[in-house]
Amino acid sequence: MFQLIDVFWAYTLIAILILIGRFIRQRIGLFKSLFIPSSVVAGVIALLLGPSALGAIIKATVGADSALVNGIFPEAILTVWSKSPGVFINIVFATLFLGQIIPGWGKIWRQASPQAAFGQILGWGQYVIGLILGITVLTPIFKLPPIAASLIEVAFEGGHGTSAGMAETFKELGFAEAADLSLTLATIGLVSGIIIGTWLIDWGRRTGRIQQLQEEVSLGINEDSIHTHTEEETSTTAARERLFKDLLIDPISLNFGFVGLAVAIGWLILQALGFIESITWGSGDGLKLMAFVPLFPMALIGGILVQLLLVRTNRSYMVSRPLMERIGGLALDVTIVTALASISLTALGSNLVPLLILAVAGILWNVCVYVFLAPKLIPFFPNERGLGDLGQSMGVTATGILLLRMVDPDNRTGAFECFAYKQLLFEPILGGGLFTAAAPALIVRYGSVPMLFFTSAILAFWLIFGFWNCNKLRKNQG
């Protein structure tokens, strides 16, 4: 239990930890060169000073009666932090498409369909690889529950935020340690994605696969940005300035109001789906899925609906995309810091070998798909455009954007637009979308083998479609 003052001090400490993390990141060249977010550094610091590291050492050397058995943080603070990731991740997903310019679906499809196929192949393949490992190694040898097979996609495609948001689902399904494993996998994916992506850029230039000239990359990229900045028309900016002047309201307060509306709509959608399930396929002993689906994928859908409504009513000027990125970035920082601070190192130690198996398998799959399949799925500038999806599939969206800026800083290949449009066809399903949220419950309900056939069939569909679509686009261009 905790009181409101505990919440205040918990988030005050997070702010201080982020400042410390930023200072350390700027002073240690390795962290800076790898573009490790300050929030990740802050979260690791909180973890090391908490009960799993410092507290465990104190308990082993001094005894359980020591005042530092929980590390330097009071128990009430740790309780607030443990509850925070599942709350703030809803804000992150609600802001993903608020303020974004959503073009016609025809334009989206023409530009993003190759990227969508490539991204879907990466994501569904992570499930296939994970399920194969679960059936052959993880469950029979290491006695892990079958839902361990979903960890590669949750961690690599979803990142720290999705891993933290899925913690309650894993707990309800009887595998609470999965949250710690997933967060660690997300960290491995983030670091390896940047290292391997940078190496692939150099390899591509040396072998002629990447045609763009080497140029100095601006390091001013917002490391926690969720999407590329959306350019706005002058009339939209002017209308927003008049609105703020007339309403006498702080711009961030107004934008946060739309975030709240998106979350509320997402909650209503989740409740409606739960009710429909209870009177249809979920009645009696039927499939009960919605109880295990967290709120954040529905908050994403709520954000899309709010944005479409604003566009339809000619009030899109009321939402500022840069402010939405700031709101989402802050929520993502809080999510990452509190999630990492709450990791159980004991759970990691007892599952170290399975963790490494999942990490190596996920990395190998992503790299092989990029090297061998990107040229067959993306008709133009495949090695440049594929890097964005490779980075996203091993970390977060910002990793993909970072690699795109490194390989094509002037956007000569059109990779930024294709990558941004592809999110509309990807994120509602994978990478923290509906299937990501439902997959663990589906594995528990139907078993690993049926789910392996199901995910393999979807993977095969996207492979066939990807090859066909790529050839069609090349012929049309020719």
Residues 315 and 396 in one domain: yes
**What are the residue ranges in the chain where pLDDT is below 70?**
1, 33-35, 102-104, 107, 211-248, 285-289, 291-292, 346-348, 395-399, 401-402, 409-411, 416-417, 420, 424, 478
Q: Does residue 458 contact residue 124 with C-beta atoms inside 8 Å?
A: yes
Torsion of CA 122, 125, 127, 133, to 10 degrees: -130
Taking each helix axis from N to C end, the angle separating 85-94 and 296-312, rounded to the nearest 10 degrees, works out to 30
Task: Give the domain-ending residue among 52, 83, 114.
Answer: 83
Domain membership of residue 215 (yes or no) is no
Which residue range forms the structural domain that includes residue 72? Answer: 4-83
Domain membership of residue 217 (yes or no) is no
Torsion of CA 402, 404, 405, 409, to 10 degrees: 180
- Domains identified in the chain, total number: 2
Residues 110 and 146 in one domain: yes
Instruction: Say what the pTM is.
Output: 0.72
Which pLDDT score is estimated for 66? 77
The Cα–Cα gap between 403 and 190 comes to 12
Centre a 10 Å sphere on the Cβ of residue 55 and count the other Cβ atoms it contains. 19
Which pLDDT score is estimated for 247? 63
Instruction: Report the Cα–Cα distance between both ends of the chain, in Å, rounded.
Output: 66
Domain membership of residue 135 (yes or no) is yes
The Cα–Cα gap between 295 and 166 comes to 10
- Tell whether the torsion through CA atoms of 466, 472, 476 and 478 is positive or negative: positive
Which pLDDT score is estimated for 243? 64
Q: Return the structure tokens found at 143.
A: 């006695």
Which pLDDT score is estimated for 246? 62
Fill in the DSSP letter of residue 68: T
Domain membership of residue 161 (yes or no) is yes
Which pLDDT score is estimated for 236? 63
Q: Does residue 310 contact residue 316 with C-beta atoms inside 8 Å?
A: yes
Task: Give the domain-ending residue among 36, 64, 83.
Answer: 83
